[in-house]
Structure 1
Amino acid sequence: MSNSVPTSPLLDMPLLPPFDRLRPEDVEPAIAELIDRCCRKLQEGLNKPGWESTLAPLEEVQDQLNRAFSPVSHLNSVLSGPWRAPYEAALARVTAYWTELGQNRDLYAIYQQLADSPAFSSWPQQRKKAVELGLRDFVLGGVGLEGRARETFAANSQRLAELSSRFANNVLDATNAWTWHTEDESELSGLPQTALAAARAAAQSRGLEGWVITLEGPSYLAVMTHADNRDLRERVHKAYVSRASDTGPNGGEFDNSAVMEEILRLRSEQARLLGMANYAELSLASKMAPDTDKVLEFLGDLAARAKPAAERDFAELQAFAAEKLGLAELQPWDIAWASEKLKRARYAVSQEELRPYFPYRKVLAGLFAVVEKLFGVTVEEDEQVPCWHRDVQFFWLQRNGERIAGFYLDPFARENKRGGAWMDSVCVRRQTTNGLQLPVAYLVCNFSAPTADKPSLLTHYEVTTLFHEFGHGLHHMLTKVDVAAVSGINGVAWDAVELPSQFLENWCWQPEVIAMISGHFETGEPLPQTLLERMLAAKNFQSAMFTVRQLEFALFDFKLHCLEQGASAADIQQLLDKVRAQVAVVPVADENRFQHSFSHIFAGGYAAGYYSYKWAEVLSADAFSLFEEKGIFDAATGERFLHAILEQGGSRDALDLFTEFRGREPRIDALLRHSGIEQQELNTTPG
């Protein structure tokens, strides 16, 4: 009998990670070995410069590293627990490797040599763009720094990765730490049956009688929108908005104050080391927007258009609450509840009334049918693929019966799973020595899970979330690019990366599509025409209030990263207060520490980039307006979007691709029309 230790599957990763065989203890040695392989391959390539002799072999081994690290990072997000420590150890090693690579002058010289060669102009576009973006990233990675500055930049990069992970951990731990338990159902008056069933299941999983409210998305939103118990709304709201901060019920326990301060200080220092005024300037070096003034002007102009409408929305809500709900003064924990009451009074429709007509499985099948009509691809489940949780499904994307991509779908909220919704890469499409590697994606949401007597039922808002994430997935999976650096969403300007996702959301509002994605979970009957009409009429209900909320986040993020020296926790709060005074229309609780859980900018890729949602929304609304002209399932227009946007990845500049699709540069009017905001000429639009 052999005593040899079994080889970790991470070292020889197949296309689909063997989730049934991955073990936390395998992570560190496997990642260390894969990084060693990368370093050895790099040294070989430096001795014989060229695309085929240096860059292609390096791409091959780095892809192996990425495909091993991807499931580790993913499991940390969706299961946490035993994967946190190995993930953080691996993250430190991987960050150090990429930082060192970004400062390797010998490799930089090879990129420069290739770009300067007479033959470069006749290279395939994908390879040219990969070299051009590589040269840019070397500069942004500190390749030109000397001595102490070089060491500091590398150390800062390492530390920033650690701090981002800590920020996310604190938010998750703070979310999990707070619950509220009751055995008196009357305290939950107003909550819909779906929410009550979930609260009972949460209690049972903890060995308790009655009901448990948590800070996971579905539970929190149900209370804020429907609970008639004002004290409960206040309690839950204050716990939620104070997560990971110095205040609230767990104040100081998972406090992100010092983490934010250090992140901002290090980001400012990184920008200064590269000769830039602030981190916002550094962030824009890889985006569509030309400079910080353009972004601030764009956001400021949009705020000026939206705020008067938002103030009218809020004044109407206050008047309704005073007259009909007996609330002389609206508090932050009253807004969603009162808004739902006003929406029902005005349109006789609510998200809960819609929920029975949007069973998750029906929505999913309808989404797949929409994508087939638009882009000629079909989706087929493969139940033989090992997954990390019983709720997860795996699907193949096919064209003409041939597999072209795959994706995992993890739809439901659960403890120890990061909140929100996102798409991430399992592996990218690329040409390998053994043939074509297909792109594979993770799609993650946090919908209410099925209960003993009901399937998962979605609000229409959650339907749009599913379409949004699938739009990201299509961008990753439908690429025709074979070079990893510009395949799928790789190399795409961050302020254009939301274009396909926001674009696909538009179909959720088309009557023809609603018929495809809806059907009562018990009877299968379609959404009644009267309910459909009321839902569509309510589409832009309080849309201006939603717009200024997004602008509040975007302006806060961008102005924060325009500071030259970072900021203290008190400074951060003061800046947020100033931005709110500029654009917000709703009251804020004294305990509100939104910034302490703003993972998009402190633990995600949106630092000095949250404006991207609005920037890309201009693009997506304008792109969809062509379908409004030609027909929402016009085959030629769908094919045009597929070829111009989805297949091209990052191989060409985003503005050029948009212009190729639309026949002109983007305009703001479609966004204003779709949002129900009175159109006035904006001074600036993306481009």
Structure 2
Amino acid sequence: MGDTNPLLQNFSTPHQTAPFDRITEEDFMPAFEKALEEGRSEIKAIINNPGEPTFENTIEAMEKSGKLLDRISSVFFNLNLAETNEKIQSIAREVSPMLSEYSNDIWLNEKLFERVKQVYNQHENNSQLNVEQKKLLDDTYKAFARRGASLSGSEKERYREISSKLSQLSLQFGENVLAETNDFKLHITNKDDLAGLPGDVLDAAAQRAKSDNKEGWIFTLQIPSYLPFMKYADNRDLRETMFRAFTSRGNKGNKRDNNEIIKKTVALRSERSKLLGFKNHAEYVLTERMAKTPDKVNSFLNELLEAALPFAQKDVKDVETFAKKEGFKGTLQRWDFAYYSEKLKTESFNISDEMTKPYFQLEKVKDGIFDLTNQLYGLSYKRNKEIPVYNKEVEAYEVYDNDGSFLSVLYLDFFPRDSKQGGAWMTSYLEQHKKNGKDVRPHISVVTNFTRPTSTKPSLLTYNEVNTFLHEFGHALHGMLSNVTYESMAGTSVYRDFVELPSQIMENWAQQKDWLQKVAKHYKTGEPIPGELVDKIIAAGNFQSGYATVRQLSFGMNDMAWHTIEKPVSKQVSEFENEAMQATELFPDVDGSCMSTAFGHIFDGGYAAGYYGYKWAEVLDADAFDLFKKNGIFDKETAQKFRDNILSKGGTKDPMDLYVSFRGQEPSIEPLLERSGLK
């Protein structure tokens, strides 16, 4: 690669990591064009190979094609999420249809599909293939069928149009939500309006105002600013202002409105699934999931709703009763719930985020998670400042295995920025795979939006943020401990309703006294967290779990409703959503609020017809953690079993087979109901 474009050269960085310090926005478009050209010629060579189609010259050759494009795409689209700007966003809009077209040129190519079919039908030859090779063959054949290879000419053209439009709509949806989130600022100059807000929340708001060259305090819709405001601000009118701003993102009838984008997206997904012979998008998606069918998902959601709803109704009643006791008059609204719920929690358990935060210093929690993975899997971490990063706040680590061998690069990016989407996620810049007999180790990234340090305090986490960190680190372990041959099966490349098992199981340690007392040290004194405070954290673990469960189920039901439509939706998005979530409603409707118009998981992420997967995986993780509880929460043997059967295997086998090989049985729903206090 003689080009001066850093994206097209061999990366001469530690572990061939992305040379972020050398890449400019101008490099992306020419790099994409070159990579698309290279990918096309690799596919052409497979199609024109004069030899008989074999596993090696067709299936494996396809798996190895387009690697330059994969590399550039992962750098670019990860930056578009974590460090974007207008230039990057405009490149994304330009390049997305090009990538759709490239992908369609592969999956809709009749000659290529013919070769794949020939290999697929060679039963005698296929008996020599190992488990991973058979899975790759099966996956490749299915991918063609699922992406329109069997369609006729005009249907193929329509399929192409739909794919291209969907990729553009998804980008536009995400851009709109980010812009709407950044657009709103609550600027407060009157100190009286700050009553109830804790010191560190005020420090962060004052710092935000200062960085905007303003007097006073600024609160935003970024989660570390929004959530504490809703929990602690005594000023009810301002809580309502914040709530309405947050829940109306993408639903204001302005140029960033997402209503039409949603209707077009679900209509196109529905049309595409029909083209491919499915009744609806959910049916299309779920054939490649543990759940298998929409009926199975809906009955799963309803079974949990039946168990949780009475508890949720009692949770809301308890908060209403408490609020009235506190002198509240009128109807409890959604912007009152978090506020009074937090006060009730403080009174019931004598615990609040403000009491626990001083013990959860981000640095110490990070060390605690590193230490936990060392105890379980023998991993060690070494920061390497020579590894280039895309923002000076990002930390890069080398991760080593228990035998001292290099395992992975790990990027950690903790704090909110205007250039970064909200939420928390794990992603990869390079997936683990074997190349010419060499094990290529992955480059994994964890991105969060935790409270920033201020001039007076380090970053202190809420207990909820500790859980988030553990969760995303579980995904990271799935990526880092991968040990497979093919990139397309590495790490988190598994069924969507299985992918949350490795992440959610990690959250269980936050409920264990032995771990919490190791991690939680006061940021000023270094004193470990008092035992009685840990007891309170654990006792409060199920506080309002009925409410939290029903809220999560409402999102899953909304997702399933959008993706089981069989004709375009004519009613308003908010009306459709209200009907979908009716069975879970616990509050009066709020005019102008709409969850769907900012529901990035399903309209700008991979969770369409898959949001139920969080709850599905909770059944798995509660059942799996039962084994740790039985054998000891730091038991190396159980951890090794989890690593060998689940974390290292990626998508090489059916998830239920992997689960049973770890657990010795299929999962039961009982441990989840018990853990959540829903029995």
Q: Which band: TM-score by shorter chain?
A: over 0.9
Query: Following the alignment from structure 2 to structure 1, what is the Cα–Cα distance between the partners of residues 146 and 162?
Result: 13
Letter in 2 for 1:426: Y
Match of 1:430 among 418, 428, 433: 433
- Report how far residue 126 of structure 1 moved: 1.3
Give yes or no for contact 2:186–2:218 (8 Å, CA) kept in 1.
yes
Structure 1, residues 576-595: CA drift from partner, whole Å, max 9, x if none?
21233212223342121111
Q: 5+ residue gaps in structure 2?
A: none
Query: Following the alignment from structure 1 to structure 2, what is the Cα–Cα distance between the partners of residues 138 and 102?
Result: 5
| Residues 533-682 of structure 1: pairs in structure 2 closer than 5 A | 533-568=535-570, 570=572, 572-678=573-679
Structure 1, residues 633-655: CA drift from partner, whole Å, max 9, x if none?
11111110000000110000000
Equivalent residue number for residue 479 of structure 1: 482
| Residues 356-435 of structure 1: pairs in structure 2 closer than 5 A | 356-399=358-401, 400-433=403-436, 435=438
Secondary structure of 1:436's counterpart equals strand
Equivalent residue number for residue 161 of structure 1: 167
Equivalent residue number for residue 681 of structure 1: none
Match of 1:309 among 297, 308, 311: 311
Equivalent residue number for residue 235 of structure 2: 229
Give yes or no for contact 2:59–2:137 (8 Å, CA) kept in 1.
no
Give yes or no for contact 1:423–1:443 (8 Å, CA) kept in 2.
yes
Aligned residue pairs: how many? Answer: 669
Equivalent residue number for residue 96 of structure 1: 101
Aligned: 1:244 with 2:230: no
Secondary structure of 2:127's counterpart equals helix
- Report how far residue 569 of structure 1 moved: 5.4
**Farther off after superposition, 40-49 or 136-145:** 40-49
Give yes or no for contact 2:42–2:66 (8 Å, CA) kept in 1.
no
- Report how far residue 325 of structure 1 moved: 4.0
Give yes or no for contact 2:475–2:503 (8 Å, CA) kept in 1.
yes
Aligned: 1:7 with 2:5: yes
| Residues 9-158 of structure 1: pairs in structure 2 closer than 5 A | 9-13=7-11, 15-46=16-47, 47=49, 48=51, 49-81=53-85, 82-117=87-122, 118-158=124-164
Query: Following the alignment from structure 2 to structure 1, what is the Cα–Cα distance between the partners of residues 656 and 639?
Result: 19
- Report how far residue 380 of structure 1 moved: 1.7
Query: Following the alignment from structure 1 to structure 2, what is the Cα–Cα distance between the partners of residues 10 and 228?
Result: 55
**Farther off after superposition, 323-332 or 255-264:** 323-332
Q: In the superposition, relative to structure 1, how do residues 403 and 5 fare at CA in structure 2: closer, same or farther (>3 Å)?
A: closer
Query: Following the alignment from structure 2 to structure 1, what is the Cα–Cα distance between the partners of residues 366 and 566?
Result: 46
- Report how far residue 110 of structure 1 moved: 2.5
Give yes or no for contact 1:271–1:278 (8 Å, CA) kept in 2.
yes
Give yes or no for contact 1:374–1:635 (8 Å, CA) kept in 2.
yes
Letter in 2 for 1:107: L
Equivalent residue number for residue 341 of structure 2: 339
- Report how far residue 417 of structure 1 moved: 0.9
Give yes or no for contact 1:176–1:416 (8 Å, CA) kept in 2.
no
Structure 1, residues 196-216: CA drift from partner, whole Å, max 9, x if none?
111111111111111111111
Query: Following the alignment from structure 1 to structure 2, what is the Cα–Cα distance between the partners of residues 106 and 517?
Result: 58
Letter in 2 for 1:605: G
Structure 1, residues 335-357: CA drift from partner, whole Å, max 9, x if none?
00000000001000011211110
- Report how far residue 11 of structure 1 moved: 5.0
- Report how far residue 397 of structure 1 moved: 1.6
Secondary structure of 1:520's counterpart equals coil
Give yes or no for contact 1:261–1:569 (8 Å, CA) kept in 2.
no
Equivalent residue number for residue 682 of structure 1: none
Give yes or no for contact 1:622–1:671 (8 Å, CA) kept in 2.
yes
Query: Following the alignment from structure 1 to structure 2, what is the Cα–Cα distance between the partners of residues 125 and 639?
Result: 21
Give yes or no for contact 2:263–2:569 (8 Å, CA) kept in 1.
yes
Query: Following the alignment from structure 1 to structure 2, what is the Cα–Cα distance between the partners of residues 110 and 436?
Result: 29
Structure 1, residues 289-331: CA drift from partner, whole Å, max 9, x if none?
1211111111111101100111111111111111124244211
- Report how far residue 434 of structure 1 moved: 7.9
Match of 1:272 among 271, 274, 278: 274
Give yes or no for contact 2:43–2:65 (8 Å, CA) kept in 1.
no
Query: Following the alignment from structure 1 to structure 2, what is the Cα–Cα distance between the partners of residues 42 and 243?
Result: 43
Query: Following the alignment from structure 1 to structure 2, what is the Cα–Cα distance between the partners of residues 568 and 197?
Result: 47
- Report how far residue 58 of structure 1 moved: 3.7
Q: In the superposition, relative to structure 1, how do residues 569 and 21 fare at CA in structure 2: closer, same or farther (>3 Å)?
A: farther
Query: Following the alignment from structure 2 to structure 1, what is the Cα–Cα distance between the partners of residues 67 and 473?
Result: 24
Structure 1, residues 395-431: CA drift from partner, whole Å, max 9, x if none?
1221122111111111111212100000112111112
Letter in 1 for 2:418: E
Equivalent residue number for residue 285 of structure 2: 283
Query: Following the alignment from structure 1 to structure 2, what is the Cα–Cα distance between the partners of residues 177 and 631?
Result: 49
Give yes or no for contact 2:6–2:19 (8 Å, CA) kept in 1.
no
Equivalent residue number for residue 172 of structure 1: 178
Query: Following the alignment from structure 2 to structure 1, what is the Cα–Cα distance between the partners of residues 254 and 321?
Result: 38
- Report how far residue 381 of structure 1 moved: 1.4
Runs of 4+ in structure 1 deviating by more than 6 angstroms, as ranges, are: none
Secondary structure of 2:449's counterpart equals strand
Secondary structure of 2:219's counterpart equals strand
Query: Following the alignment from structure 1 to structure 2, what is the Cα–Cα distance between the partners of residues 625 and 190?
Result: 40
Give yes or no for contact 2:517–2:531 (8 Å, CA) kept in 1.
no
Give yes or no for contact 2:58–2:116 (8 Å, CA) kept in 1.
no
Query: Following the alignment from structure 1 to structure 2, what is the Cα–Cα distance between the partners of residues 533 and 436?
Result: 45
Letter in 2 for 1:595: S
Equivalent residue number for residue 441 of structure 1: 444
Aligned: 1:193 with 2:195: no
**Farther off after superposition, 392-401 or 165-174:** 392-401
Query: Following the alignment from structure 1 to structure 2, what is the Cα–Cα distance between the partners of residues 281 and 57?
Result: 31
Aligned alpha-carbon RMSD (Å): 1.5
Give yes or no for contact 2:550–2:584 (8 Å, CA) kept in 1.
yes
**Farther off after superposition, 5-14 or 530-539:** 5-14
Letter in 1 for 2:350: A
Equivalent residue number for residue 684 of structure 1: none
Secondary structure of 1:539's counterpart equals helix
Structure 1, residues 558-616: CA drift from partner, whole Å, max 9, x if none?
0221110131451x322321233212223342121111000111110011111111111
Give yes or no for contact 1:488–1:649 (8 Å, CA) kept in 2.
yes
Give yes or no for contact 1:45–1:55 (8 Å, CA) kept in 2.
no
Give yes or no for contact 1:25–1:86 (8 Å, CA) kept in 2.
no
Give yes or no for contact 1:79–1:416 (8 Å, CA) kept in 2.
yes
Equivalent residue number for residue 260 of structure 1: 262
Query: Following the alignment from structure 1 to structure 2, what is the Cα–Cα distance between the partners of residues 444 and 632?
Result: 27
- Report how far residue 5 of structure 1 moved: 7.3
Secondary structure of 2:581's counterpart equals helix
Give yes or no for contact 1:279–1:608 (8 Å, CA) kept in 2.
yes
Structure 1, residues 143-179: CA drift from partner, whole Å, max 9, x if none?
0001111100011001100000000000000001111
Letter in 1 for 2:633: I
Aligned: 1:511 with 2:509: no
Give yes or no for contact 1:244–1:253 (8 Å, CA) kept in 2.
no
Equivalent residue number for residue 685 of structure 1: none
Secondary structure of 2:409's counterpart equals strand
Equivalent residue number for residue 465 of structure 1: 468
Give yes or no for contact 2:623–2:667 (8 Å, CA) kept in 1.
yes
Secondary structure of 2:591's counterpart equals coil
Query: Following the alignment from structure 1 to structure 2, what is the Cα–Cα distance between the partners of residues 109 and 476?
Result: 33
Query: Following the alignment from structure 1 to structure 2, what is the Cα–Cα distance between the partners of residues 5 and 495?
Result: 42
Equivalent residue number for residue 350 of structure 1: 352
Aligned: 1:319 with 2:314: no
Letter in 2 for 1:75: L
- Report how far residue 235 of structure 1 moved: 0.6
After TM superposition, the score normalised by the length of structure 2 is: 0.96
Q: In the superposition, relative to structure 1, how do residues 10 and 72 fare at CA in structure 2: closer, same or farther (>3 Å)?
A: farther
- Report how far residue 238 of structure 1 moved: 0.5
Letter in 2 for 1:648: K
